[in-house]
Chain A
Amino acid sequence: MRAPDGPPVTSGDVLLSIDNVSLSFGGVKAISGVSFDIRKGEIRAIIGPNGAGKTSMLNIINGFYHPQQGIITFKGEARSKMRPHDAADGGIARTFQNVALFRGMSALDNIMAGRTLKMKRNMFWQMLRIGPALAEEVEHRHRVEEIIDFLKIQEIRRTPVSRLPYGLQKRVELGRALAMEPELLLLDEPMAGMNIEEKEDMSRFILDVNEHYGTTIALIEHDMGVVMDLSDRVVVLDHGIKIADGTPQEVKSNQAVIDAYLGVAH
């Protein structure tokens, strides 16, 4: 095992770096002075007790929140107030803690919605479904079917998502994010509320996405076993402050982390 302060295991270019970022809502400090980076091709976990600021962190990365302080650099470019749809355009996709699907649509339409930014044809051709618009629709359907095969949800593609069980809804949501062909995929508790079998399936999908598509993944998860198995590096937040950063092994044996999770005797 490495020393806790040694150089991190994985190497590679930095895809996203968070530099001294602070976020507050009125008087409540959600995140104070946090810095870490996400490297190309890695699976990066963000963990911490409830209220640690994990989801706020994801919301900052994809532009839902704008930090009052700090610099965010994505693909070598420092960005200021980026809006969520610009983040999506730049290659950041995400899923939500409480599944956020388009409830009125089928699984297929939900995943097709992930292709929105990739469809360029004129609205009038699309209405008539002829010529280049038809070719485009077919091409995108093709990509979406690949994702559906990959996630093994062929049988439910026409089902309205509101009728699907929770585990499958989470899978469709992952499919929608994958349809965007993101460079950085943010997963907010992808396994919350799942049974062991569903968790294993989801873990496999996450690893496969990372391997086959080379997608960089940042995930929030409460199941420590899953975090230790999946991630290359882990950053730990507590009360909006970073208390540890390193490989799963390093983090697991870090005294501050143990204290944060178990509480300290005063």
Chain B
Amino acid sequence: MIIAFGQFLEVLVSGLLAGVLYSLVALGFVLIFKASGVFNFAQGAMVLLAGLALVRSLDFLVANGLPFWAAIIAALLFAALIMAITAFLVERFVLGPLINQDGLTLFMSTIGVTFIIEGGAQMLFGSDVYPLRLFPSDAWFLFEGSFPGGLLVSKIDVWGGMIAAVLVVGLAVFFQQTKTGRALRAVADDHAAAQSVGISLNWIWFIVWLVAGLVALVAATVWGTKLGVQFSIVFLALKALPVLIIGGFTSVPGAIVGGLIVGAGEKLAEAYLGPFIGGGIEYWFAYVLALVVLMARPQGLFGERIIERI
């Protein structure tokens, strides 16, 4: 009994912590979708770009004799700069000229952006698998007194969880306290009214893409440490999709909770349903969950109800 409970806790905790990473990617989608109504297909590619910029500059600086801590700071700054340049270019050459266009047009344009970012990132920084070691990758064994063998908790996941928490608190403060944050919320609610009080849409779009780029950078540090920085990171974007459907496309808390539900749900399903139906559940469970939510509550758990007058 106690062993079964210990195992359940272990699966749950590892699922929740893995879910935090889904939340991080989903968060980038939500930020851009809220402020501009654009579903940004390129979010996964941005995680790849941020990760490559980080790991390659880090390797370069360490190879040139910089102490590790200084190299990390410099590499993070460099990657942040790359994300800022990306945000500027996307606003200037893609979204700026397409202002007031249909949502589908904007979505298509972000597919184009995806290919350019993916190609550009690999051209500039290489296309191998690059190991990133920012956090310790071993594990703790907790509560060894209560459970035989203790609970195995991976340190990377805990780091990821803490970083995500800091990020979310930082974003919340930014949205609530600053003039730019208030302007972002204003644009999310009503473009015309926001412009009429002196908010520049171009500036705001640059800011949201920058913030989404920085969120992608944070996601890249954690995913990169876990799996190495490699092209398959872009498929993360696909995992964020069910997270968004479950949490709601317009809700920051929704992205967080949705990520946790998907993370915990797929690990628990794998552990407890897997043996009965042949395993491999992890890969499709999130989509089934999303389908159920779509049928019961199409706007997602935290999304705004869309009411249309006929």
With beta carbons under 8 angstroms apart, the residue of B173, B192, B198 that contacts A89 is B198
Contacts of B188 in A (CB 8 A): 104
In the bound complex, what is the Cα–Cα distance between A229 and B255 (angstroms)?
53
CB B77 to nearest CB in A, in angstroms, measures 16
Interface residues of B in 110-149 (CB under 8 A from A): none
Chain B interface helix/strand/loop/mixed: helix
B193 contacts partner chain A, Cβ-Cβ < 8 Å: yes
A205 contacts partner chain B, Cβ-Cβ < 8 Å: no
With beta carbons under 8 angstroms apart, the residue of A85, A101, A103 that contacts B199 is A85
Contacts of B199 in A (CB 8 A): 85, 116
Interface residues of A in 126-146 (CB under 8 A from B): 126-127, 129
Interface residues of A, CB < 8 Å — how many?
31
- Tell me which of A71-79, A106-114, A235-243, A258-266 binds B: A106-114
With A101-B190, A105-B189, A113-B183 already in contact, the answer to whether A127 and B197 are too (CB < 8 A) is no
A119 contacts partner chain B, Cβ-Cβ < 8 Å: yes
With A85-B198, A85-B199, A127-B173 already in contact, the answer to whether A116 and B193 are too (CB < 8 A) is no
B200 contacts partner chain A, Cβ-Cβ < 8 Å: yes
- B192-227 near A? 1/0 per residue, CB < 8 Å: 111111111100000000000000000000000000
Contacts of B197 in A (CB 8 A): 88, 93, 113-114, 116-117, 176-177, 180
**Range for the number of chain B residues in contact with chain A:** 20 to 34
A83 contacts partner chain B, Cβ-Cβ < 8 Å: yes
In the bound complex, what is the Cα–Cα distance between A112 and B174 (angstroms)?
16
In the bound complex, what is the Cα–Cα distance between A100 and B192 (angstroms)?
8
CB B205 to nearest CB in A, in angstroms, measures 13
Say whether A88 contacts B182, CB under 8 Å: no
Say whether B195 contacts A102, CB under 8 Å: no
- A76-97 near B? 1/0 per residue, CB < 8 Å: 0000000111001100011010
In the bound complex, what is the Cα–Cα distance between A83 and B204 (angstroms)?
14
In the bound complex, what is the Cα–Cα distance between A93 and B180 (angstroms)?
19
CB A259 to nearest CB in B, in angstroms, measures 34
A17 contacts partner chain B, Cβ-Cβ < 8 Å: no
A22 contacts partner chain B, Cβ-Cβ < 8 Å: no
List, sorted by A's number, 19 A–B pairs whose CB atoms are closer than 8 Å.
A62-B196, A84-B195, A84-B196, A85-B200, A88-B195, A94-B196, A96-B192, A101-B190, A102-B186, A102-B194, A109-B182, A109-B185, A113-B182, A116-B186, A117-B198, A123-B179, A129-B177, A176-B193, A177-B196
Give the interface of B toward A (CB within 8 A): 170, 173-174, 177-180, 182-183, 185-186, 188-190, 192-201
